[in-house]
C-alpha cells in the first residue's frame, strides 16, 4: 500500500459522503444520514491511522476539524432516528406524545443539517483529501503495512485499558475503537486477502453488533427519559417507566454478552 492508494481511498470516502449529503438535502434522509455518518467515521479512522504512522507529519484532529460540525449535526439527527427505531422495535403503541416531540426535534435537526451547506458555500468539507497527505509520499509500502498492524494493536491495548478503568463512558469508547479496528481491517483486507482470519473477523463483527444494539438502547433511553419528564398524566408516566425498565434490562443483557465476546476476542486475537 502506498500513499497513492491512501489518497484514492480517502477520495472515494469523500465522494461517498458528498453523495449522501446531496440525498439528505433532497429529502431522502434516514439511510443517507446513517451512511454519511459511516463515511465520516471511516475518514476519521484513516486520519487516525495516518497520524499513528507519521505522527510528526500529520495531525488527525486538525485534518478532521472541517468535518466536525457536520459530524455533530448528523449525529444529533441520527440519535433521534435511532430513538424512533427503538420505539418501533418494542412496538410501543401509546407513545404519541413522545413521538410528536421526537418528530418536532427531528425536523429541526434535519433543517440545521441541511443549512450546513449555506454556511459552507464552497464545500470546504469535501476538499480532495490528497491536499493534506501529499507530503507523506516518502513513506514506504512496508512501513504502511507495519503501521496498520501496529495501529490495530494500539487500539486493542487502549480497549484493554478502558475495560479495566472506572470511566462511565468506557463501553461507548470501546465501541468507537472497535469500529476503527474494523474499518482498518476492511481496508487492509481489500489489499491483502489473508490479513485476518474469517473467524477473528466474525468475532469483531459480532461484538460490534452487540455494542451497537446496546448503544441504540442507551441513546433511546436517555432521550425518552428526558421527554418522559414532560408527561402530565399518571398513566403516561407509568407506561414510560415500564418501557424504560425494559430498555434497561436489555441494555444490561447486551452488555453482559459483549463482555463475554470481548474477553474471547482479546484472549484469542491474532491481529
For the chain, the straight-line distance linking the first and the last C-alpha, in angstroms and rounded, comes to: 18
79: left (phi over 0), alpha (psi -120 to 50) or beta: alpha
3-state secondary structure of 9: helix
pLDDT at residue 143 in the model: 78
Count of C-beta atoms within a 10 Å radius of residue 159: 21
Range of the domain at 30: 3-268
Question: Is this model's pTM higher than 0.95 or not?
Answer: no
pLDDT at residue 11 in the model: 83
Domain count, the chain: 1
Grid coordinates in use for 117? 451547506
- Report how far residue 185's alpha carbon sits from residue 180's, in angstroms, rounded to the nearest whole number: 9
pLDDT at residue 138 in the model: 66
123: left (phi over 0), alpha (psi -120 to 50) or beta: left
Question: Mean pLDDT in runs of 10 for the chain (271 residues)?
Answer: 70 89 86 94 91 85 88 95 88 69 91 83 50 61 82 95 93 96 88 84 93 95 80 60 89 96 87 63
CATH of the domain at 136: 1.40.20.10
pLDDT at residue 129 in the model: 45
pLDDT at residue 33 in the model: 94
- Report how far residue 184's alpha carbon sits from residue 131's, in angstroms, rounded to the nearest whole number: 21
Grid coordinates in use for 145? 503495512
pLDDT at residue 235 in the model: 56
Decide if 4 contacts 182 (C-beta within 8 A).
no
pLDDT at residue 10 in the model: 82
Helix H or strand E encompassing 73: helix 68-89
Amino acid at each position: 500500500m502506498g500513499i497513492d492508494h491512501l489518497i484514492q481511498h480517502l477520495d472515494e470516502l469523500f465522494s461517498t459522503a458528498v453523495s449522501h449529503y446531496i440525498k439528505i438535502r433532497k429529502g431522502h434522509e434516514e439511510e443517507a444520514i446513517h451512511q454519511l455518518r459511516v463515511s465520516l467515521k471511516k475518514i476519521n479512522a484513516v486520519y487516525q491511522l495516518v497520524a499513528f504512522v507519521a505522527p510528526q507529519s500529520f495531525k488527525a484532529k486538525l485534518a478532521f476539524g472541517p468535518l466536525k460540525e457536520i459530524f455533530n449535526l448528523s449525529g444529533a439527527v441520527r440519535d433521534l432516528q435511532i430513538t424512533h427505531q427503538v420505539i418501533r422495535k418494542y412496538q410501543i403503541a401509546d407513545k404519541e406524545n413522545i413521538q410528536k416531540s421526537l418528530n418536532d426535534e427531528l425536523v429541526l435537526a434535519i433543517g440545521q443539517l441541511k443549512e450546513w451547506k449555506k454556511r459552507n458555500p464552497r464545500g470546504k468539507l469535501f476538499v480532495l483529501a490528497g491536499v493534506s497527505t501529499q507530503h507523506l509520499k516518502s513513506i514506504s509500502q512496508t512501513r504502511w503495512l507495519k503501521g496498520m498492524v501496529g495501529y490495530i494493536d494500539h487500539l486493542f491495548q487502549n480497549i484493554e485499558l478502558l475495560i479495566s478503568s472506572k470511566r462511565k463512558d468506557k463501553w461507548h469508547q470501546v465501541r468507537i475503537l472497535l469500529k476503527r479496528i474494523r474499518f482498518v481491517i476492511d481496508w487492509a483486507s481489500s489489499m491483502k486477502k489473508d490479513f485476518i482470519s474469517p473467524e477473528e473477523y466474525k468475532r469483531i463483527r459480532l461484538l460490534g453488533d452487540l455494542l451497537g444494539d446496546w448503544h441504540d438502547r442507551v441513546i433511546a433511553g436517555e432521550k425518552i427519559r428526558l421527554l418522559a419528564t414532560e408527561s402530565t398524566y399518571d398513566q403516561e408516566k407509568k407506561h414510560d417507566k415500564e418501557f424504560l425498565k425494559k430498555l434497561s434490562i436489555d441494555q444490561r443483557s447486551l452488555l453482559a454478552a459483549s463482555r463475554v465476546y470481548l474477553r474471547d476476542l482479546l484472549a484469542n486475537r491474532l491481529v
